[in-house]
């Protein structure tokens, strides 16, 4: 089921089916958006949170701004839910689990709305709900880099997907997914700073290149305290790495080595380090997952392995 992609997971409903669905929703108002999807007005108190929500941080000020916009313009983009039933004293009543749109739901509550527009997806198994929830949120919501990385990791762990398969699910390149997953190797304080917007994902990736934890922490604090730009941080990291290699003056050969190093990085799409020792040396190629190792090996050998 999971291998068939998102479109097979979400069957399209005809307008006639949507009309019958509207009657089953107890007369909730229904409209049809371009593409044929039905949008229902559902009571807010019937919508329950999504346990698989990737977003963990909700900016209160941004929610208030969104609530003000909703009061004036309404909710432009419908929420996405899946329908279930719960048992009450009056019998079975419909309940809706949120798949995507928690920011809009929270803002709608602040704005005092009693109903919100929703698109109802028919999803069966819990694992289908999990995949759909993660994919919908990654495609629709502006997640911070760590939330996105954790979502990619969850897709890998829960469904045994490769980075390439995750990338196909969410409409990203494999490089984007791989770079995001590397951020999870950062210490918790740096991840938190990235989630809170105190650090950019470019700065975080530069800090990943520092292998000494003490130097990494020092450069992290230096970046926050002195508001270092990406270029300034990169220069400081380069100086640290030069010190780690014990390099003094640049030899006449180094510009050519740097040229080869950059060509190898571009060809293999990963971190490559050249080290010299006399007339010889070594090439160090880094990989961050078994799938990435396989892809690098295929590029080097120029054939499937």
Indicate if 215 belongs to the active site. no
- 7, 43, 61, 102: the catalytic one is 102
- Nearest to residue 190, comparing CAs of 179, 177, 178, 205? 205
- Rounded distance between C-alpha atoms, residue 180 and residue 173, angstroms: 11
Q: What is the 3-state secondary structure (H, E, C) of the chain?
A: CHHHCHHHHCCCCCHHHHHHHHHHCCCCCEEECCCCCEEEEEEHHHEECCCCCCCCCCCHHHHHHHHHHHHHHCCCCCEEEEEEEEEECCEEEEEEEEEECHHHHHHHHHHCCCEEEEEEECCCCHHHHHHHHHHHHHHHCCCCHHHHHHHHHHHHHHHCCCHHHHHHHHCCCHHHHHHHHHHHHCCHHHHHHHHCCCCCHHHHHHHHCCCCHHHHHHHHHHHHHHCCCHHHHHHHHHHHHHHHCCCCCCCCCHHHHHHHHHHHHHHHCCCEEEEEECCEEEEEECCCCHHHHHHHHHHHHCCCC
Contact, 153 vs 145, CB < 8 A? no
CA distances from 269 to 97, 160, 241 (A): 40, 23, 20
> Tokens at residue 51, please?
């346990």
**Residues tagged active-site:** 102
């Amino acid at each position: 089921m999971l291998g068939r992609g998102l479109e097979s997971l979400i069957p399209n409903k005809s307008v006639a089916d949507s009309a019958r669905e509207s009657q089953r929703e107890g007369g909730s108002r229904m409209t049809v958006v371009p593409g044929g999807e039905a949008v229902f007005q559902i009571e807010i108190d019937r919508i329950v949170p999504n346990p698989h929500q990737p977003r963990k941080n909700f900016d209160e000020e941004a929610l208030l701004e969104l609530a003000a916009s909703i009061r004036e313009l309404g909710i432009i983009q419908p929420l996405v839910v899946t329908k279930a039933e719960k048992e009450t004293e009056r019998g079975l009543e419909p309940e809706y689990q949120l798949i995507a749109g928690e920011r809009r739901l929270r803002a709608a509550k602040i704005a005092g709305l009693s109903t919100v527009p929703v698109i109802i997806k028919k999803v069966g198994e819990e694992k289908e709900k999990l995949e759909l929830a993660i994919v919908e949120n990654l495609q629709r919501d502006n997640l911070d880099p760590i939330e996105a990385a954790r979502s990619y990791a969850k897709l890998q762990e829960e469904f045994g997907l490769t980075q390439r398969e995750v990338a196909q699910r969410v409409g990203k390149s494999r490089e984007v997914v791989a770079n995001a997953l590397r951020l999870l190797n950062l210490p918790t304080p740096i991840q938190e700073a990235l989630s809170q917007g105190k650090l950019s994902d470019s700065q975080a990736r530069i800090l990943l290149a520092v292998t000494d934890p003490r130097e990494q922490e020092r450069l992290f604090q230096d970046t926050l305290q002195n508001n270092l730009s990406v270029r300034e941080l990169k220069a400081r990291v380069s100086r640290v790495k030069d010190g780690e290699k014990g390099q003094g003056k640049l030899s006449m050969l180094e510009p050519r080595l740097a040229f080869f190093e950059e060509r190898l990085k571009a060809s293999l799409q990963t971190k490559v380090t050249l080290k010299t020792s006399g007339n010889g040396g070594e090439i160090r190629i880094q990989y961050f997952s078994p799938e990435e190792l396989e892809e690098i090996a295929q590029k080097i050998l120029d054939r499937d392995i």
